Structure 1
């Protein structure tokens, strides 16, 4: 379902959830905010890919369990969306709260993770944060990420592709050259670097290489 006529200055949102009643309720809540506009809905991976490609949203609100029926449906879709549309921010909105799921969602490219019983104010704040290219986690999912970062070495936190990006970065390659070596766009390289910096808690390319070396990624 497509809801047209969003204004250019609004945060454009696509809802991906297999329960129509839930989507209707969320849309009703979000559209009370003048800067938020739901431009599309989907209940399956296929529908979501089509709607996102057509509507170019700022943020995708994504449930992890879609109509196929497994927790991994949403994770797989998250990875596809962030790979094909790195400019789109994926915010997981789900009933599932499990450390492994939170961490994997981040690894697959999600910028945020909130549980469905979150209050309206925090949900709206999270959407706006993701739209600004920032991370957004409720207190429980944030705790899961912290526990994972403490418990696991960096090489298990970074994806295989991210580790390759770090390796090429350490050799002094530019974003353009890294993209050429990995057969991905320069925009996608920037997306991976942003995730790497977030996961390693650093803010510069030099710090990425230093931290990756210290933690055994290189």
Structure 2
């Protein structure tokens, strides 16, 4: 579902009463409805659109012109971190747009990767309303924003760098299936995700391992102890 609120865009200025235009991207309608109800109690926060999928978000962002996208990482039942790819596409295509990740997932790797993909902040869904509103306003001012647990995860990641490539849990699962000789279609069947999503993960794996083929990825991962 795609929904817009038709209002003329207002530039946000941290020192003025300008509005912060927000697009909600979450696959659960009840979550979007709850967020809209909470956020629009604030005089300067305006929800200008909603999207339930990555495709809807990409199609709609240019029409509703949000300042901030409030983005969940899980946008389908088959992929827990589809929002990471969407974050990268949104920030690459719309330079003035800021993304604040709002998710139930909290892993050191996810927080770091979200920032690498262009997110300005990261908060978990059980954050209180005051902190969420504060984070949205901070991101609109082009400041970073983290709740206390996300900040701790980021600090832990910085203080404990890993020697092995920083692969997500889903990428490690795909890598394991690659090592077993499965095709993209077969991997998609095993993980209940599309073949296109599998290809996306494989490309990320090869990029992170600095290799140019699936075979090299498996060999390098084996040497690194990843599989």
Tell me the TM-score normalized by structure 2. 0.66
Which residue of the other structure, out of 104, 114, 132, is the alignment partner of 2:123? 114
Alpha-carbon distance in structure 2 between the residues aligned to 1:117 and 1:109: 23
Alpha-carbon distance in structure 2 between the residues aligned to 1:43 and 1:51: 11
Counterpart contact for 2:72–2:103, Cα < 8 Å: yes
- Give how far 1:148 is off: 1.3
Long gaps (5+) in structure 2: 11-17, 167-227
- Give how far 1:51 is off: 1.5
- Give how far 1:68 is off: 5.0
Summarize deviations over 1:7-53 as a string: whole Å, max 9, x none: 62210000000000110000000000010000000000000011111
Counterpart contact for 1:12–1:36, Cα < 8 Å: yes
- Give how far 1:79 is off: 0.6
Bigger helix fraction: 1
1:60 aligns with 2:64: no
Tell me the TM-score normalized by structure 1. 0.68
Alpha-carbon distance in structure 2 between the residues aligned to 1:143 and 1:86: 28
Counterpart contact for 1:6–1:37, Cα < 8 Å: no
1:18 aligns with 2:20: no
Alpha-carbon distance in structure 1 between the residues aligned to 2:97 and 2:31: 22
Counterpart contact for 2:9–2:65, Cα < 8 Å: no
SS in 2 for 1:47: helix
**Alignment length (residue pairs):** 157
Long gaps (5+) in structure 1: 158-218
Alpha-carbon distance in structure 1 between the residues aligned to 2:89 and 2:37: 27
Summarize deviations over 1:142-177 as a string: whole Å, max 9, x none: 111111112228xx79xxxxxxxxxxxxxxxxxxxx
Instruction: Name which of structure 1's ranges 120-129 and 64-73 shifts more when overlaid on structure 2.
Output: 64-73
1:140 aligns with 2:144: no
Summarize deviations over 1:91-120 as a string: whole Å, max 9, x none: 000111111111111111110000000000
- Give how far 1:67 is off: 2.4
Residue equivalent to 2:172: none
Root mean square deviation, CA, Å? 1.9
Alpha-carbon distance in structure 2 between the residues aligned to 1:144 and 1:40: 30
Alpha-carbon distance in structure 2 between the residues aligned to 1:147 and 1:117: 21
Q: From the CA coordinates, give the structure whose radius of gyration is larger.
A: 2
